[in-house]
Amino acid sequence: MVRPYLIGALLAQQSAGPAGIDGFLPFGRGSLMLDVVFLTMFVIVPLLLFSLWQVKYRRNYQLHKALQLTMAIVLLVAVVLFEVDIRFNGWVHRAEPSPYFDAANKWSCLAGRALIVHLSFAVPTLVLWIVVVVQALRKFSRPPSPGPHSAWHARWATLAAGGMFMTAVTGWIFYWLAFVATK
């Protein structure tokens, strides 16, 4: 049986202050998952570049595949947990101390516009990376080696890598504007 007074108490508690688990970065106000994703991208970007170098210049297709699958799994788990955190706990209350955030103008303030730019890279990149990885798993031989799918893969994987780089950079900018800068 649902007790309405419990729901009211939970909603009141939800809006009373920062919800969720606080992050661990000493310079920010992010939640645990915001901090995890923020730092994860500092690992993913160099690893992505290393993976591309391995396949392009060293022709180490197996290592490239292993790195890409590992990054895809780590990012998928991190993004799912991040989205759960944001959906349940929100982020606005953590951004309110920022001089670049205005709750009354959430999407037109500088932090809000930075989030829109970030999402314009993050969402298409997520979809593109999934397509590239799935197609590679379906169309490359085992062990991986160049084949008929290589030209398509190189074209779209390069676009996905560029999108991942821009997702990271715009995410870092948004994180600083919303969760580090203080009035």
pLDDT tens, position by position, 89-112: 999 999 999 999 999 999 999 999
In the numeric block, which tokens belong to residue 44?
């993913």
Coil vs helix vs strand at 79? helix
DSSP bridge partners of 31: 22
pLDDT tens column, 17-71:
457 899 999 999 999 999 999 999 999 999 999 999 999 999 999 999 999 999 9
* Global pTM value: 0.86
**CA separation for the pair 50, 68 (Å, rounded):** 10
Coil vs helix vs strand at 147? coil
Characterise 117 by phi-psi region: left (phi > 0), alpha (psi -120 to 50), beta (else): alpha
